[in-house]
Structure 1
Amino acid sequence: MHERAREFAETARDRHGFDPDVREFDAGTRTAEDAAAAIGCRVAQIASSLAVTDGTDVAVVVTSGANRLDTDRVADVLGWETADLADPEEVRAATGWAIGGVPPFAHARPLRVLVDESLLAFDEVWAAAGTPDAVFPVDPERLVALADAESAAVAAA
């Protein structure tokens, strides 16, 4: 297992009492489509963690791989005037993970987390486990609890 995926698994166990079934795919899981093809699930079951910022604060939004993020909706839910995708340096500083491998929890510091409500329609979703090639399955309700998240309508209409 890649060192960063192992670090995620250890942090998930130590900090959250959750033992993720981390799986790595040589073909990569960089995009939702790639991940779904490698896993053998629907694109909508890919839980993509995106960091957003208002220029001051950073939050993580876990969205379905089948949806586009609506940053205006995200800003409204967070109570921000605007929300934009964070740049790679902001993502790493806030979450401790690089873009493409950001898990929905086990971040470097406490962050507000939103979960796309459409993910709750599934029994199982797949999220990044610390690297662009590592993912883990999780019940979406459990994901919300582990991330201390709020489910919200964050997808573009």
Structure 2
Amino acid sequence: MMNVRQLQEYLNKSKAVFELKEHDEPLKNAKDAVNYFDAELVAAVYVIHTERGLAAMIVNAERDKMDTESINYVLGYKVKGMADPKLVRQATGYDAGFMPLIGHGLPILFDKGLTIHDYIYGSTGDPRYTVKLRPEDVIRLSEMLAFIE
């Protein structure tokens, strides 16, 4: 688990193009971020439980459901559903509602629709900060499983 300073150091060292945004009021979830940033640019990170373990699903925050059949097809194995928050905390050190875009240590499924943007906004793991980051940097700095529609 990285704090915001460690995340900033990691992103600098990795030559990522990013900005950290501090908030006066903590954001409770990605839906709150839509009040501050363009909804098309806000990415939510959900942790799913699959036959092969946990994975982070990075999708547009406005997405309200998971197409399990489509994800099963892309992965070639089954998604059991959303991961238990206690298991998420144990595996990553982060609370399920505050999963950062990067640095959680889980392989990712990435929403193909987010790749058309120059940058996206997402959690840093700290509700007082949001990171503005290029989608290609999120992908480059993560273990990529697959793109999802």
- Per the normalisation by structure 1, the TM-score is 0.77
Distance 1:121 1:18, change over 3 A: closer
Distance 1:49 1:42, change over 3 A: same
Q: Determine helix, strand or coil for the equivalent of 1:100.
A: helix
One-letter amino acid matched to 1:104: L
8 Å contact kept, 2:41–2:121: yes
What displacement does 1:8 show?
3.2
Q: Deviations over 1:88-117 (max 9, x none)?
A: 11112222211222112212x4x3211101
Q: Residue 84 in 1 paired to residue 81 in 2?
A: yes
One-letter amino acid matched to 1:106: G
> For 1:122, which of 110, 117, 120 is the aligned residue?
117
Between stretches 46-55 and 18-27, larger displacement belongs to 18-27
Matched residue, 1:96: 93
8 Å contact kept, 1:104–1:147: no
Residues in 1 aligned to 2:63 and 2:4: alpha-carbon distance in whole angstroms: 25
Residues in 2 aligned to 1:47 and 1:60: alpha-carbon distance in whole angstroms: 12
Higher relative contact order (CA 8 A, sep 6+): 2
Identity of aligned residues (%): 24
Residues in 1 aligned to 2:52 and 2:146: alpha-carbon distance in whole angstroms: 23
Residues in 2 aligned to 1:66 and 1:37: alpha-carbon distance in whole angstroms: 12
8 Å contact kept, 1:49–1:103: yes
What displacement does 1:5 show?
2.5
What displacement does 1:86 show?
0.7
Greater share of strand residues, 1 or 2?
2
Q: Deviations over 1:44-82 (max 9, x none)?
A: 211111110026500111000122332332232222223
Residues in 1 aligned to 2:48 and 2:60: alpha-carbon distance in whole angstroms: 15
Matched residue, 1:62: 58
8 Å contact kept, 1:20–1:137: yes
Matched residue, 2:19: 21
What displacement does 1:25 show?
1.4
Matched residue, 2:71: 74
Residues in 1 aligned to 2:144 and 2:91: alpha-carbon distance in whole angstroms: 16
Matched residue, 1:44: 40
> Between Structure 1 and Structure 2, how many residues are aligned?
147
Structure 2 regions of 5+ residues with no counterpart? none
What displacement does 1:151 show?
5.1
8 Å contact kept, 1:32–1:43: no
| 1:107-146 aligned within 5 A | 107=104, 109=105, 111-146=106-141
Residues in 2 aligned to 1:72 and 1:5: alpha-carbon distance in whole angstroms: 36
One-letter amino acid matched to 1:77: V
Q: Determine helix, strand or coil for the equivalent of 2:70.
A: helix
